Chain A
Amino acid sequence: MEESKSYDVNFFKPSTPFLKENIRLIVIGLVVWWVVTYGFQFLLKIMETPTPEASYVTYQQYAPKLADGSASAEDMKAAANFYLAVLGKSAALLKNEPLKTAFTSTVYNSLSGGDQQMLLDVAAQAVDDKTVDVGFINSALGITDNKAMMAVVPYGLTAVTPDKLAMADPALKPVLDKYLIHNQSVLTDTIVLGFPFHYLFTALITLTIFVLICLVYCAAIDKLMKKHGMESSFE
């Protein structure tokens, strides 16, 4: 072998037995690292199905009736509950006027005559004053034992007039699709140690395996160096 050749270093063409074994260890480590990090995410991606929330599936059954005006008071109440739960998801949705109009309109229609006028007043007031008394709405919607929902009511109301009600504005569909359809699979729906499994895997198991990769590699390479007698002369 000519002299200059022997000083070439190439990850894919290891020139000494030590390097060969060292690189084999590195490759094993990298493969485990890749599979744990990216392999699992690819698996999640491959297995996922866009899954609407249960309340959204039910909603789609009575939504046409809201649009053509044939909805019953029960449908109105269900729709109002549904819109309220959506509003409670994020502060951004609490600024979405079509959604707030749909909520207020369905509440209006699920109330009886006298309460309807009260709602219009309260809704107009709630725009600026969130401490307004909404007890009668909570009772009408049957949410008096659900503090999470009750807290959202004053924030979800908006000023409406009886001639401008919109219970299922077509503009709502993209918003509802965005917030109510999730990428789910058996990996996300299985609960392990209280976690959705995919969350447990990414947040805890992945990191634990990283530490193990490092631990095993360190032990293995120390052994390898000893085997090749490199510990004293080389290190």
Chain B
Amino acid sequence: MKKITGKSLSVFIFLSAILFAALPAFAASGAALEGGFKTIPAIILLATILLFIVVGFLNKAEGTEGYYAAGRSISRVGSGAAIASNWMSAASFLGMAAIMYGSGYHGLSYVVGWTGGYCLLLLLMASQIRRFGKYTATDFIGDRYYSSGLRVFTALIAIFISFCYCVGQFGGIGLMFKWIMGMDYTWSVIIGGTVVLGYVIISGMLGVTKNQIVQYIILITAFLIPAFILTFKFDYFWLIPQIGYGRVVSDIVAGNATPFINSLGHAMQTVPQPEYAMPWDPATGKTFFQWMATCFALMIGTAGLPHVIQKFYVVPKPSDARWSVTWGLFFICLLYWTAPLYAAFGRILSSNPEVGTLAKDAIVVYTAQLGSVNPIIVGFLAAGAVSAAFSTVSGLLVAGSSAFSNDIYYRVFNPEASGESQILAARIATIAMALGVMVVALLKLALVAQLVALAFSIAGCTIFPLFLMGIWWSRSNREGAWASILVGAAFTAIALVYFICGKFGVALPGAKFVGYWLNPWYFAWIAAPLAIIANIVVSLATPDTPEEIRKHLASEVHGVR
């Protein structure tokens, strides 16, 4: 084990050395917001990544046993912070503000959807999943529905979900590397992706949970400090910036005239823009239905994402699972209460047409820059965005590759595989996945938050119904589960095919209808209920769940004695 760690470390140092050697090549003179190599942010970023590795080494777990023992020594508050950092990615850090900046009130459906899902998770699933006593989402489904075919199919879907989720993250990492290094997007994604891959290969063996606590502290500090500075600087109520930015929103609605200027020397003023704050405003092109559907799909997706669900298996007790969700949600909200602030300040600071069109997904960083926040703090903000993406990507790549090595390689292709060849399979899967993600991220299919929303919709209509029904209705059986997951997968396929064809200009019949009602960001709004109905109908028409499983469910999960 130690040998492998040493090897990975040297790989990482080698990669970093190449990166640094190549830096001068990317240095270019730039405008105020874009372009040019930014030394301070680059150093902060590198220091942050090194910090994660050092903390990981200090808390290195010895084998599986040690991993869980380490889990037990961590408090509920601590595992709450770990849940929050595992959860918050580039989509939370950069993507939500981007959607609000572009589509106003519609963006709040992401803010609400990505927090409200935790209520569902806690009320309906968290402690029950812990009591069921399995270690991964695929294990739960394979055992509860007594079907190894279903386990493999779920593993495939879990891998696909991780893949889509990662595409959004790589987009965010690419944008931040682009901003720091001042090179073009393609190279930024390739270099950022390589760094993250090196990091994942090393961090796969390090103390994950403690590391996630450190990651949470870094990302929340990086996100909050500029919020205080912006509200203070522009004379809004700065003691609680989350409330202080309310007047910024009202100023955008009414149009305003402040005595302040932004960092480009333009007045911080705007013509009246009620379309920014009014619900489902026609100017944003988003409707009431889209708000509700997006919000709902994101919520059930939260409760169906394998890497989120898996967090509950590693806490010592069911009551810890519940309290850590509560703490986790609170820590998540600290960022979510603040994110709309960046969108509002961004809107008003960039309202002058001379600022030009800004990349929406980088608006958080641009806003801090336009507000003349100290470059060191802006650099820290960008590093926070990268570490948000890193912590999530490493979790996703590990989840995806272990699903491949345990559920597919070991069970289907090579049941005699030794532990070592399983680890090798996981390594190869990690690298293959990262490379695939990099290629897709280069296509720039959509905004970061939207790409991530796709992963949520898939999880919401495939995995969530299986967990919900599996926990709360013992009659739901293998056949019903197959029907349910196939309905979910069919909707996923339809939404994706139409989306991809639309992107490449292939006209399919009914494209407009599908694009609106079965949009890839929220098709789960209808797919999930239909999957549940399919589950009920087919389950009732086929034999009951074996008694052994019903007994386990009743006595272990629900305390029936």
Residues of A near any B CB (own CB < 8 A): 4, 6-11, 15-16, 18-19, 26, 29-30, 33, 37-38, 41, 44-45, 48, 53, 84-85, 88-91, 94, 130, 146-149, 151-152, 155, 177-179, 181-184, 188, 191-196, 198-200, 202-204, 206-208, 210-211, 213-215, 217-218, 221-222, 225, 228, 230-231, 234-235
Contact = CB atoms under 8 A, between A and B. Distances in A.
B267 A147 contact: yes
A8 B236 CA distance: 58
Interface size class of B (residues with CB under 8 A): 35 or more
Interface of B: 105, 108, 111-112, 115-116, 118-120, 122-124, 127, 236-237, 242-244, 246-247, 249-250, 253, 255-257, 266-267, 269-275, 277-283, 288, 291-292, 295-296, 299, 317-319, 322-323, 325-326, 329-330, 333, 336-337, 340, 351-354, 357, 471-475, 547, 550-551, 553-555, 557-561
Contacts of B357: 91
Contact of B271 (A11, A19, A44, A152): A152
A6 B560 contact: yes
Main secondary structure of the interface of B (DSSP, over half): helix
A9 B124 contact: no
Given A7-B474, A89-B273, A151-B266, 9 more contacts: A16-B558, A30-B119, A41-B291, A45-B288, A148-B257, A148-B267, A182-B278, A194-B237, A202-B108
Contacts of A231: 319
A26 B279 contact: no
Nearest to A181: B282
A84 B246 CA distance: 26
A194 B250 contact: yes
B116 A206 contact: yes
Given A26-B124, A29-B119, A215 B326 contact: yes
A11 to B, nearest CB: 4
A214 B329 CA distance: 8
Nearest to A191: B250
A89 B249 contact: no
Nearest to A85: B271
A18 B561 CA distance: 11
A200 B120 CA distance: 23
B274 A53 contact: yes
5 contacts: A7-B560, A30-B123, A85-B272, A199-B249, A210-B115
B326 A33 contact: no
Given A181-B282, A194-B250, A148 B271 contact: yes
Given A33-B120, A48-B279, A88 B108 contact: no
A196 B243 contact: no
A198 B119 CA distance: 22
Contact of B353 (A29, A155, A206, A210): A155
